[in-house]
Every structure is written in C-alpha cells, then in structure tokens.
Structure 1
C-alpha cells in the first residue's frame, strides 16, 4: 500500500510541472481530471470501500473454491496472499467460515490444511476454545463412527455406603491432568452413568480422540457416603479396537476401596 502512495506522488510530478508552467493551457481541466483520477485510484485501492482490494479477495475465494471442489490441498502462495490481503481482525472469522464450509461440502483435505494454518492464528484462550470446537466438527466428519462415542458405566456402591454423591473422571494415561470426560451425580438411585464426548472439559479433547488414537484410558470413580466416608475405584483399559465406539465398564461392590485420607 505504501508503494501505491509513492507511485501516486510520482505521478503528480509531471502534472505539477505542467500546472506551474506559464504557457500551459487548460490548467483547470488538467488539474480537475488529475485530481479525480488519482482520487478514484486512492479510494479504490486503499479505503475500506476498496473495490480493487475486494476484487483481490474474490480471486482468493475463487482459488479456495476450486481447491474445495476437487478436495485437494491449496498452493502455498494462497496462504501468502491470505496473509497480505486479509486484515488481522478478520482472519479468524474468514478462516472459520472457510473451514466450516469445507467440512459441510466434505472437502476434508482442504479443511485439514486450513486447520493447520489457522491454529497459530487462533492465539488467545477464547479463540483456542473455538478452534478446538471446529476441530471436533472436522474430526466427527472424518470419523463419523466416533461422533457418538461413549463409555457406559454400571456400578454397585460399596457395602454399607448410602450414596450421596458419585463422580467419574476419565483420563488419558500419561496424558494431561485434565479429564477427557467428567460426570457428577447426586441422585442416590442412579447406578448407571454414561460418559460421552459432550462431557469433555475441552472441545476436541474427549473420548473420541482417545478412541481414534488408541490411547490407554483410566477411569477414576469416587463415592461420598452419607456418613462422610469416601471410596474410590480405578479402571484402566488399552483401546485397541478401532471398531469400538462404545466402552462398557462394570464396577462391583468389591471393586471399591476405602479412602483413608
């Protein structure tokens, strides 16, 4: 854009010389014509109403559409043009719309490439939450069999425990301390709980991810009894069957251990 200003100033030099010359004729016409021409050029290229900039963006969108139509990767120069053309405050929304559209028309190759490019752009915590929400949409489209992944837990309370609260936390073994699913129940009559992708703390970091990556998962269960005593039970399993989207866990009365702390 600075280059355009320089070109405009250079273009004014011969016009200025002509206007300052004593024997020049039709100065008013030349001045008016030059003023209008350069003014329109500046408006068309640099203002927020830039039709030249809009035309460049249309070309960018067309290039994106062509890649999506054949479900192929974009050329590297697309991302260079994107960085140069799209304002920083529009990049997130622009990419989000592009990715969601690619997912919608099942152009998953382009969608995955755009996701990789977009990850560092979604920088702050709120943007990252949105990014992983979009990622989970893409993942569920790519692996639809895991979109409804769940763990069904049947349990019998510890002997002599009148349950006031039961909680379940599902973790990836040797992974982050954040559970991939969490559930708390204070209904003493409920002895069956289901953990699903919607019970995750972070969008995309959920049971489906563990299933797809064949991770070892650890279920940690806790009981709070009416007499304030507590019990715990741990269950671990290596997921090695990619055709399994439903896990079943049975916790019996003898599987609980008293928490002495």
Structure 2
C-alpha cells in the first residue's frame, strides 16, 4: 500500500523530490545534502479485502524553508482522482537544523493497484455487489428534481426507480499478460423520473454504463470494457407507458490477477 501512496506523492510534487518507502518508523532522517525528502512510513501490514487495501501510513517531509508544507487537500484530491479514499491528519511540525520536518498521518480507507490481486476467482456474492453498484448508477442517471416531496417514506408519483433483476458471469478466461478476465451481464428495470424526456433518459443510461469503465469492483476486478446491450422502452402510445419500467441490459469485462 505504501508504494501506491508513494506514487501519489510523486504525482503531487511532479517528481521534483525523492520519496522513500519504509516500514521502520525510526528511519526518517534528513538527507545529507539538505535536499527535500519525503518518507512514506508503513509500520503495520496492509489490510486487504476483495483486493482493496486499507491501513495507516505516516508521511514525514524534510524540506528547506522555501518548500511549502505537506498539503493534505492536494493529496486527497489526487487520491480521489485515482478512486482512493484517504483521510489526512497533520500531526506536528518542527525544525531540524536548516530543515523543517512535517509529519502527517494518512488513514487509507480504500486503495488498489491498477489490477486487483484476488485470492480466489470472483464469487457470486462479489459479482452481485458490483451489479448493485451498476443499478445505483442507472437509477441516479434518470433521477429528476420534479417529483413532489414525500413524507414517512411514501414513494413520490413519477419518481425514478431502479431494480436489479439479474446478474451472471457469462465467461471467464486467463489472459496472456497474467491477468484473468471475467465477463458479467446485468439486467435492470429502470423507470426515468417524471419530466425527463425519453431521448435524454436513454442517453443518460448509456453514459452511466460507459462511465463505469475504469471502476474497481471489490472482489471482482477493474472494469476494462463496458457496453450497453439493450434499452427496451415501452410503446409511448400506451396510456400507461410512463408507469412501465424500461428494461436495461449491460455487459462488463473486468480484469484481475490471482495470487
């Protein structure tokens, strides 16, 4: 995990300083030449669930006074761009000779390599969790703000809805580069919100599926291909067409490695 955050620090500082990974909390020392130097300290092993890592890291930054202090907001933003979830907490700042020493703790809630490493092939439960994520994205895509307020959990007339109806693994195969790929198909009943024109809803659903490319699904892998297989809309001539959900099917290819 420390190596992943090492790359984040390099990105934030544009490779203009050295970044050292260590598991020894006593190792961080100023460089002999007085140059800027960051240590990423990981004293305890990483926790890994479904190929996704979490744990605690300490950043120690030795810097000349001309350098700005560690910026937790910039680190968090870069992590967010990668899909990581971290929480920075400044610990202390002190002076050592001609250098400033900044210390920051990073609580890493979620981080992962470019390809997840799993202990076993994706389970039905993990695939089901990914399918629910897809369902949530489709529902969000067709929500509108035109439905009236509700009380006590009452469902608003014309509100958008999404229901996962099925998910299945249609193929699984190893690849030449050492990764395996699993192809998953999902099916959903989706009802666009009141006031959302059909052509806009149709496009939003396709875009929601496409945006999942690059998504990391715990216990399954990273989405390397996302395709809309079909969006079946009710006949607009039917008087009850606004109450009939659309049938949406999608196919995803996810890549992972086995230990």
What is the TM-score normalised by the length of structure 1? 0.24
Structure-2-length-normalised TM-score = 0.24
Q: Between Structure 1 and Structure 2, which shows a larger proportion of strand residues?
A: 2
Q: Return the structure number with greater helix share.
A: 1
Which structure has more RCO (C-alpha within 8 Å, separation ≥ 6)?
Answer: 2
